[in-house]
Amino acid sequence: MACFERASPALKEILLRLYRNERAIDADHHLHEFGSVEYYIQSLVSDPDHTYLSVSTPILSQAFLISTRLSHYTIEKVKAISAEVVEIVQPPKEGYQLTLRLNFARMSHGKESIKMITDIAAVQGVILSSQLEEMLMNVNSQDVAQGMYKPIKLVYHPREPFYVIKQPQKITAVFPMRFKEKTDVIIATAFFQELMDVANTKACAKAPHCIWSPIPPPELRGEAIEDLSTNGGFVSFDITSRHIEGKRLDKTVWNLLNFYAFVKNHVKSTRGFIQRRMRTCLKRQVEVLQKTGLQDDQHIKAVKGHKRMRKLVNFTKFKILRYRSDFTSKLKRIRSRLKIHGFSRFRRKWLSFPTFSSKTKYRKLEKDISLQHD
């Protein structure tokens, strides 16, 4: 299911709007919801006392429920909403499985009217729950007696099928888990392991036994490979007779139909929580760095004395390392044999050695040597 509430929020809002209108109006509303669910709401000025609601929902199991029409058990469940306000129209509107005629004039005012409209808006949940209840109650007992536990494939959404296997002492529901992102697989796997550990404790002894496995359970042997190809493993719940007795049956069935939505909601909430914690930690680290910078600035302003001392205090470790590397590079540049443009002129002008005059005169040896050779 797309949400944990049984009533459709959009359908409830439209029905409340039509109920609160003082005058009858012509209205046609088409609603499409998760799981290929479609609603059609029609109100006519020519028939001001009635509002028509048509519902189209997929069949959970084509192999078990051959006919697309609703069974007698499901129709009785729908009639139980309110015999005075809700009336089933036969045959239903073309393209829909169920059409209801709603008489708002018979509805009491106040909080009871809102509760009644909420129950009507949950008609799709009533249909799905009744289908699963009927399948669990009408599984062929001969196959069970012979040990042939054939799994029933239930498809509420094409990408989210699950299986129900009825055995002599229990009913096993198996959910193949698939996720698009790797982070979702990690979060879901940790959740399944924790769920399995908690469900098997003494505090949860009355809860269904939970098992998570990365490989398909033996009960699904022989099923299609594409249905068993998962990246999140398989979650199994063992449902005993005490979980489906009386009013517990409806609650158990509803929890099974909402298990995929519950897991998705948990993964989404956990991912958002982790992201918020990361942003909070990053914000705290930035605040610490900013406070440290402000304290350094205040310390530098508080230092009094010689100008060079204040300048030395203002140096940070990064600046000292940078200046040290710059000074080293300057030394290497001076020591290297590189021709610097204009340096020769500077050397002649400022680095030339002074000339000294001497009274002692010397004779050049070159001339004497040349005379000797002659």
Q: Are 130 and 155 in the same domain? A: no
User: Are the beta carbons of 42 and 101 closer than 8 angstroms?
Assistant: no
Q: Are 191 and 131 in the same domain? A: no
From the CB of residue 58, how many other CB atoms can be counted at a distance below 10 Å? 16
Q: In what order do the strands lie in the sheet with 86-88?
A: 27-33, 37-44, 47-56, 98-102, 86-88
Q: Are 111 and 223 in the same domain? A: no
Q: What is the pLDDT of residue 201?
A: 82
Owner of token pair 């059409």: 99
Is pTM, for the whole model, over 0.85?
Answer: no
Q: How far apart are CA 5 and CA 40, in angstroms?
A: 20
Using the 3D structure, point to which of 137, 171, 200 is the last residue of a domain: 137
Closest CA to 216 of 201, 200, 227: 227
CATH number, domain at 246? 3.30.1460.20
Q: Are 14 and 125 in the same domain? A: yes
Q: Are 172 and 232 in the same domain? A: yes
Q: What is the pLDDT of residue 234?
A: 94
User: Are the beta carbons of 215 and 177 closer than 8 angstroms?
Assistant: no
Using the 3D structure, point to which of 137, 165, 199 is the last residue of a domain: 137
Q: What is the pLDDT of residue 306?
A: 47
Please check whether residue 197 lies inside any domain of the structure: yes
In a 13 Å sphere around the CA of 235, the CA atoms on its Cβ side amount to 25
Please check whether residue 329 lies inside any domain of the structure: no
Joined tokens for residue 20? 């609160």
Q: Are 23 and 109 in the same domain? A: yes
For 80, the domain range is 9-137
Q: How far apart are CA 234 and CA 192, in angstroms?
A: 9
Cβ neighbours for 42, distance < 8 A, ≥ 6 positions apart = 27, 28, 29, 51, 52, 54
Q: How far apart are CA 162 and CA 226, in angstroms?
A: 13
- In terms of DSSP bridges, do strands 98-102 and 152-155 run parallel, antiparallel, or are they unpaired? unpaired
- Please confirm whether the linkage preceding 91 is cis (ω < 30° from 0): yes
Q: Are 181 and 250 in the same domain? A: yes
Please check whether residue 117 lies inside any domain of the structure: yes
Please check whether residue 304 lies inside any domain of the structure: no
Tens place of pLDDT per residue across the chain (374 aa): 445 677 888 898 998 888 888 777 888 898 888 767 889 999 888 888 888 999 988 777 766 555 567 888 888 888 888 888 888 988 888 888 899 999 888 887 778 888 888 989 888 888 888 888 877 765 544 455 455 567 888 887 777 889 988 887 788 899 999 998 999 999 999 999 988 888 778 888 888 888 999 999 988 888 888 888 899 999 999 888 888 777 788 888 888 888 998 999 999 999 999 989 899 888 888 888 877 766 655 655 555 444 544 444 455 555 555 655 665 565 455 544 445 455 456 555 555 545 545 555 555 555 444 444 44
Report the number of distinct structural domains present in the chain. Answer: 2
Please check whether residue 321 lies inside any domain of the structure: no
Using the 3D structure, point to which of 266, 297, 323 is the last residue of a domain: 266
Please check whether residue 349 lies inside any domain of the structure: no
Element housing 6 (H / E)? none
Please check whether residue 305 lies inside any domain of the structure: no
Q: Are 177 and 211 in the same domain? A: yes
Please check whether residue 314 lies inside any domain of the structure: no
